[in-house]
Amino acid sequence: MPSEAKHLSVSIGRPPAEVYEFLVNPENLPRWAAGLSGSIANLDGEWIADSPLGRIKVQFVPRNEFGVLDHDVTLPSGEVVTNPMRVLPNGDGSEVVFTLFRRQMTAVMFADDAAAVLRDLQGLKDLLEG
């Protein structure tokens, strides 16, 4: 059975290629994704981040020309959470879309998770437009 999903987005007044180049670099995660990463380092070819949940592994899909930034997050429990993410052209700027799936959590927890993602996306917008 499909999970409940929310598509969360933010418009950014920067060209899609610039937004993509910033986002595809895992070293930039701590600058905008507070809900995911307080710090990140490449250890033996894997991106390991310190998060509110503990140490996690972040793995993006390979670089591509389509603005796809899907990434898997391996939680300390070993559970892998797939996060679809895209940079889309929006006029002379960009739209960053993140799809949040409801996992094993209450409706309140899902709403809180969505609010955290929106805060991160707004931080990304502020950073790139600043």
CATH of residue 24 = 3.30.530.20
Residue 44 DSSP class = T
Domain ranges, residue 12: 5-129
pLDDT for 38 equals 74
E-assigned strands of 2-130? 5-12, 39-43, 46-51, 54-60, 71-74, 80-83, 85-90, 93-101
pLDDT for 51 equals 83
Give the DSSP H/E element, type plus range, for residue 121: helix 107-129
For 67-112, how does the pLDDT look when each residue is reduced to its tens digit (9 = 90+)? 999 999 999 999 999 999 999 999 999 999 999 999 888 889 899 9
Residues 6+ apart with CB under 8 A from 129: 12, 13, 14
Q: What is the pTM of this model?
A: 0.90
For 23-56, how does the pLDDT look when each residue is reduced to its tens digit (9 = 90+)? 999 999 989 988 666 789 999 999 999 887 889 9
Task: Provide the number of structural domains found in the chain.
Answer: 1
Is the distance from CB of 94 to CB of 87 less than 8 angstroms? yes
